[in-house]
Structure 1
């Protein structure tokens, strides 16, 4: 805890320095001054928690100093030192509310000073908790409100916004819901406080931003020095190791600096949060400065046609049984999604399209429905490279099951299945599939019976239930939403169909899957 000594008599200052073993009992004499004006400058530079101040001084006396510091809201606690005849004068200082105690100079001994310092420290800690809560609320409001802050309540640059996020597996379906295994942030705030005390950065405040996420703000101790990027990274790295050990899981940290104007701080906070949204590109256990990442801006034009071209090429290679070409096309597609900027919507689109292509191949082979990224098969996925490899492996394994089986279905049935898979959530019937395929309803019926050994309605129902299972396993969506998303207007009807095919109700299936 930092202390600044202020007295116009140098003998008195030397006496205070030697009266007690300051560092041994947890205090650091950050500076000393012989008048209030110098003390005010030192207070702004060092931001002490306690100041021991004489009342009568030249240039700026103790009362004026206390008033000036109080007006700036620095939260300093004062121990006032004076003589008997100055008590009425000192009482004015006490009325300001930031004076912890008043001591008569010639009565101060070692025990009394230690006791009064402890009293001031306790008072500062109580006030600091309240200030932390207030600052955290201001931070959260600025972050959620967006735009430029109307004033500068968060300290002076250099500032750094830090976004901490527990790593969660990639979910192929983007959702605003919290990751199921994100966990809490118990101990994160205390770890930030402890680690910051050992670095060149001071913690200003923090707030929770959903399950397993925390936004924290820090200011550089030495604001007159150049930006200490390396020092902050070293602090963030040590904090990351401490949190990972604390929770026995990986946690990623993203940060952004604000060096010019504290009013722009909300932009830095949102930049760090935006980087965390692209965690699938950064990888598990990332420690990265958002300013250095290839994040897309609002003006970035994504190559939608390029994505479509690589996806079409992938499908064409599979159709020609050119697996080397398929692997090359998928690798190129994922490389383009990461350069020159991270294309998160494109990644979701690519995963969705390749998953549909995979299911089409399964259906063509007469194999049961499956998700190529099912975490229960080979574990969860955390980064784009692992997703790419898993997709390539899934298609490779399917190919090994027999090219002949993939070619067993007729082109017209494959066309019908593609339409069904794309529109299963709509109110479709066999007539719609027949029209889309350019054949008669009777012929569609015969194709399903002859080649898939089931009726059109049976296949459609099974497919809808399989899609419902995926939603139930990945999301916390309500049953009305689940039923609507798989083509059922009535949740009750959906529940009856689901139970008939699976032997359990949808909510029972979800509970059983999450208990595994």
Structure 2
């Protein structure tokens, strides 16, 4: 805790310096002055928490100094030390509300001073909590309500300003996040080191407020108004703050900046930029430090997300069905790359995740494997950025492809040839004779292969495959039932509906409604 000593008698100053072991008691004498004017200048420079002040001094006396510091709202607590005859002056000082005690000089000893310093420290801490709450409310009002100038310390914060949003990094979730009500949990004391530690060059910390769990908004004001905006200095300060918070919290923190050079009434614009940047952390990655103005944030609704996702999904599904995992991986990588340009497409990411998860679960079911979520954090681990999500999908589909390949290797070459023919022509009117001719074996032998190696008939396998393809169409498109039935090899929509219900338990339109409701 910083202390400034003020007395016009140098002998008195030296006596106080040597009266107690200051550092052992948690105090630091930051400076000393012999008149009130010099003390006021030192107070602005060092921002002490306590000042020990004599009443009678030249140039500016102790009472004038206390009034001047109180008017500036610097939150200093005073201990007045003087002679008996100055008690009336001391009483006026005490009435200002920032004087914790009055001491007669020749009566002060080590124990007495330590006791009075403890009282002053407690008084300062209680006042500081109230000042901090008041500052927080004023700043929040400027960001979200009236847009009126932010008042702190008896003056108005003036541009250039810099607003920061700090956010403790959390693993990505497939449920879109919504900023909740302000919550102080996890943000208490995040900026204390900058408020009471070394004064950062060029920028002054105005205050902060919690903006949702694990989120904090901080406002800085540039001291030198005549200079250009000191962006480099702010970046250095933000970097130091970020590293300090990461050490304090034991986790990574993302930090986004936004500058306002002309009008404090534009703070609501800044907070919207910062919120949007924080919402897109999955694109910038954990531990980000960036200016929101330089990020490719979206400023229009991406109404074609579903259509784009359908095209990418059709392309990737086609590759996977052909057992061409190399092409499948290339398509998925291009798909995720497309979400970065020309702007970050968060809605498109959610749509891509939904589509690929659906395809993955369908392929699991087709392989006779239990359903699972490819992004389940229990198996995938925490996912923080776009590359993590993409790579997890590629790994999951790669493992599934290897499982399928292992299963197919157990089938005879002739049956594999027949299956490839069936997969390529399932939408046509084909029968076991067509597959047998294409394979170069007899119908009877092909029947035997299906029963022995797949434990089903050719017709059973063909029917199941057609219904699986119908499910894909129903989930992705709004095609009419006549079109769906024709695309999967059924001339009659009625017959298609009967077969679909027999295999799934519901009619096609019921299946579609259920999927759309998810």
- TM over 0.5, shorter chain: yes
1:409-488 alignment to 2 at 5 Å? 410-411=426-427, 413=467, 416-422=470-476, 433-434=481-482, 437=485, 440-448=492-500, 453-457=503-507, 460=510, 464=514, 485-486=517-518
Superposed, 1:291-330 pairs within 5 Å as 294-296=295-297, 298=299, 310-311=312-313, 313-330=315-332
Change (3 A) 1:38 1:200: closer
Q: Distance in 1 between matches of 2:92 and 2:393?
A: 75
- Deviation at residue 99 of structure 1 after TM alignment: 0.8
Partner of 2:167: 164
Pair 238,449 (structure 1): closer, same or farther in 2 beyond 3 Å? same
Mark the CA change 1:222 to 1:138 in structure 2 (over 3 Å): closer, same or farther. Answer: closer
Instruction: Choose 71-80 or 98-107, whichever is displaced more.
Output: 98-107
Q: Secondary structure at the match of 2:57?
A: coil
Q: Distance in 2 between matches of 1:385 and 1:103?
A: 66
1:501 corresponds to: none
Change (3 A) 1:436 1:139: farther
Larger Rg: 2
Asked if 1 retains the 8 angstrom alpha-carbon contact of 2:136 and 2:208, the reply is yes
Which of 281, 293, 298 is matched with 1:279 structurally? 281
Moved more, 385-394 or 309-318: 309-318
The answer to whether the 8 Å contact 2:474/2:508 transfers is no
1:258 to 1:79, Cα distance in 2 relative to 1, 3 A: farther
**How far did residue 272 of structure 1 move?**
5.0
Q: Alpha-carbon deviation of 1:291?
A: 5.3
Q: Which residue of 2 aligns with 1:215?
A: 216
In 2, the alpha carbon distance for the partners of 1:300 and 1:5 equals 61
Structure 1, unaligned stretches of length 5 or more?
179-183, 245-249, 425-430, 468-483, 487-516
SS of 2:384's partner is coil
Cα distance change on mapping 1:34 and 1:330 into 2, 3 Å: same
Structure 1 146/168 Cα, relative in aligned 2: closer, same or farther at 3 Å? farther
5+ unaligned residues in a row in structure 2: which ranges? Answer: 409-415, 428-465
CA shift digits 1:91-117 (9 cap, x unpaired)? 111111111111223333333222221
Aligned twin of 2:247: 241
CA distance in 2, matches of 1:440, 1:177: 51
Q: Secondary structure at the match of 1:96?
A: coil
Matched residue of 2:188: which SS? helix
1:114-136 CA-to-partner distances (Å, cap 9, x unmatched) read: 22211111110111122223333
* Residue aligned with 1:60, SS: coil
How far the C-alpha of 1:46 sits from its partner, in A, is: 1.3
**2:68 maps to what in 1?**
68
Q: Per-residue displacement from partner, 1:471-505 (whole Å, max 9, x unpaired)?
A: xxxxxxxxxxxxx934xxxxxxxxxxxxxxxxxxx
Q: Does the residue aligned with 2:257 lie in a helix, a strand or coil?
A: strand
Per-residue deviation, 1:148: 4.8
Q: Contact 1:80–1:101 (CA<8 Å) still a contact in 2?
A: yes
Q: Secondary structure at the match of 2:255?
A: strand
| Alignment CA distance shift 1:437-1:457 (3 Å) | closer
Deviates more, 1:325-334 or 1:357-366: 357-366
Q: Per-residue deviation at 1:374?
A: 3.8
Paired residues of 2:141 and 2:147 also in contact (CA < 8 A)? no
Q: Counterpart of 1:57 in 2: which secondary structure?
A: coil
8 Å Cα contact 1:254-1:287 kept in structure 2: yes
Output the TM-score relative to the length of structure 1: 0.70
Q: How many residues align?
A: 446
Query: For each residue in 1:25-77, what CA deviation from the matched residue of structure 2 results, as whole angstroms up to 9, or x when unmatched?
Result: 21111122222222222212211111111222222222121111111211111
SS in 1 for 2:39: helix
1 CA distance for matches of 2:83 and 2:311? Answer: 86
Shift of residue 327, structure 1, vs aligned partner: 0.8
Equivalent residues in 2 for 1:52-201 (5 A)? 52-143=52-143, 145=144, 148=147, 150-153=149-152, 161-165=164-168, 167-171=170-174, 173-176=175-178, 188-190=187-189, 193=192
Distance across 2 between alignment mates of 1:187 and 1:271: 23
CA distance in 1 between counterparts of 2:169 and 2:184 reads 9
The 5-angstrom pairing of residues 289-368 of structure 1 reads 289-290=290-291, 294-296=295-297, 298=299, 310-311=312-313, 313-338=315-340, 342-359=344-361, 361=363
For residue 442 of structure 1, give the secondary structure of its aligned residue in structure 2: helix
Give the distance between the partners of 2:36 and 2:334, measured in 1 at CA: 67
**How far is the alpha carbon of 1:197 from its aligned partner?**
5.5
Structure-2 separation of matches of 1:28 and 1:378: 51
The more displaced of 61-70 and 366-375 is 366-375
- Residue 162 of structure 1, CA deviation: 4.8
1:381 aligned partner: 383
Q: Which moved more, 1:21-30 or 1:377-386?
A: 377-386
Report the Cα distance in structure 2 between the residues aligned to 1:458 and 1:415, rounded to whole angstroms.
Answer: 12
Q: 8 Å contact 1:170–1:380 — kept in the other structure?
A: no
Matched position secondary structure for 1:189: coil
Is the contact between residue 166 and residue 251 of structure 1 (CA under 8 Å) also seen in structure 2? yes
Partner of 1:427: none
Q: Return closer, same or farther for 1:137/1:147 CA change in 2, 3 Å cut-off.
A: closer
